[in-house]
Amino acid sequence: MLLLTGGAGFIGSNLLASLNEAGRPDIAVNDILGSDGKWRNLAGRQLTEFVPPADLSRWLDGRKLDAVVHMGAISSTTATDGDLLMENNFRLSLRLFDWCAATRTPFIYASSAATYGDGAAGFSDDRSLAALKRLKPMNLYGWSKHMFDLAVVERVARKDKLPPQWAGLKFFNVFGPNEYHKGEMTSLVAKRFDDAKAGGPIRLFKSHRAGIADGDQKRDFIYVDDAVAVVRWLMETPAVSGIFNVGTGQARSFRDLVTAMFAALGREPKIEYIDMPLSIRDSYQYFTQAEIGNLRRAGFDADFTTIEEGVKRYVSGYLDRADRYR
């Protein structure tokens, strides 16, 4: 049996769907469904058990698992409750890591590109303590993930008892089906698709930096199927451990993203540019791009979906249908 924390969330539910489609039903999902429709991410899926967070420690006691895939977290970059984030994103992660070390269970977990902060220290997934300590996350969420990365690498450096496989995944800008419960954290495609389909314009921020055109702020956008493919490859390659960036390695602009959405609808792009709010102008990131050399050297050789193809799949397969869920 596999334990999948955050299995009703965005990446977690897509991983669950992929495993089900591959013929694997023996999955225990640990999550909170709440009242925001997240349960729909599990509709039509097969799982062996659903484990509420309050029952997790008791449920794990004496159990044998094939692996723990820890996708669960409070992932809002605007979260402000430090104690809650540390309990969920740091302390729970440590307890699961130590349980996996004690029971010799592979452990794969979600880190985040938010650990890189403004990108001044680059986007290299160098897992050394010296490299990690140079990073300065800009928000509480990124800091909580960074603290766990540091704790894991410190255990590795001390030669503490470790899981037989451990892997942290720094996801960049993932988009795709089942992200609808994430509110302001959903991708621009999901947020603005209905406006584009209704014939309205899509508003993007003007650039307030010399040499960068309006709408040319860039991110490493990765379609969720590719993020899932990396997780599944690690599950199937137990000899590989480390911290890896999960992005395409190719930054693309928000204008490219919106243009791809209009193209998927068979329409000419209709884009308006608006001033960036003063409150975020000084801290806004103009560029993120994953360095994926570590992932390639570890043996992951699959191609990544282009932004045009990923948006096309998302629009035609989900957003432009009555049932948008995977």
How do residues 44-65 score in pLDDT, each as one tens digit? 899 999 999 999 999 999 999 9
> Distances from the Cα of 210 to the Cαs of 205, 216, 217, 300, in angstroms?
14, 12, 12, 37
Query: What local confidence, expressed as pLDDT, does residue 142 receive?
Result: 96
Strands (DSSP E) along the chain, which ranges?
A: 2-5, 27-30, 49-51, 67-70, 107-112, 166-171, 173-175, 202-205, 218-219, 221-223, 242-246, 252-253, 271-274
- The pair of three-digit structure tokens given for residue 227, joined into one six-digit string: 């993020």
Other CB atoms within a 10 A radius of the CB of residue 214 amount to 18
Segment 220-243, tens digit of pLDDT: 999 999 999 999 999 999 999 999
pTM: 0.97
3-state secondary structure of 289: coil
What's the pLDDT tens digit per position in 84-103?
Answer: 999 999 999 999 999 999 99
Q: Per-residue pLDDT for 81 more than 90?
A: yes
Q: At 282, is the pLDDT very low, low, confident or very high (cuts 50, 70, 90)?
A: confident
In the set 38, 109, 116, 141, the catalytic residue is 141
Q: Which residue has the tokens 């999550």?
A: 31
Instruction: Output the pLDDT for position 172.
Output: 98
CA distance 20 to 15: 9
Q: What are phi and psi of 189, to 5 degrees?
A: -60, -50
141 is catalytic: yes
**pLDDT the model gives residue 36:** 84
Mean pLDDT of 114-129: 94
The whole-angstrom separation of Cα 46 and Cα 19 is 10
Is 90 exceeded by the pLDDT of residue 70? yes
C-alpha to C-alpha distance for 215 and 280, rounded to whole angstroms: 16
Known active-site residue 109: no
Structure tokens at 63: 């159990």
Residue 306: is its pLDDT beyond 90? yes
| pLDDT tens digits along 237-267 | 999 999 999 999 999 999 999 999 999 999 9
Residue 283: pLDDT band with limits 50, 70, 90: confident
Distance CA 242, CA 126 (A): 9
Domains annotated on the chain, with CATH: 2-176+221-251+288-305 (3.40.50.720)
Average predicted confidence (pLDDT) for the chain: 96
pLDDT for 20 equals 98
pLDDT tens, position by position, 169-209: 999 999 999 999 999 999 999 999 999 999 999 999 999 99
